[in-house]
Amino acid sequence: MNRQEFAEKRGAMAKNSIDELIDLLSSDELSRRFFAEMCLRDATNT
């Protein structure tokens, strides 16, 4: 994954609500959990 793909995926994931991001943390897909956690941290300023 290059920088542009990373930024696009992060931007798309950031559109989810906090509740949706929390639900995504239990995904079987590691990259989905990674992006969900990153966006959740961004959304909650932690």
Percentage of the chain beyond pLDDT 90 is 93
Q: What is the pLDDT of residue 46?
A: 78
CA angle, residues 5, 3, 7, in degrees to nearest 5: 55
Residues spanned by the domain of 8? 3-44
What's the structural domain count of the chain?
1
Long-range contacts of 11-19 (CB under 8 A, 24+ apart): 13/38, 13/39, 14/39, 14/42, 14/43, 18/43, 18/44
The mean pLDDT of 15-43, rounded to a whole number, is: 96
Instruction: Indicate the pTM of the whole model.
Output: 0.86
Q: At residue 29, does pLDDT exceed 90? A: yes
Q: Which residues contact 43 (CB under 8 A, 6 or more apart)?
A: 14, 18, 21
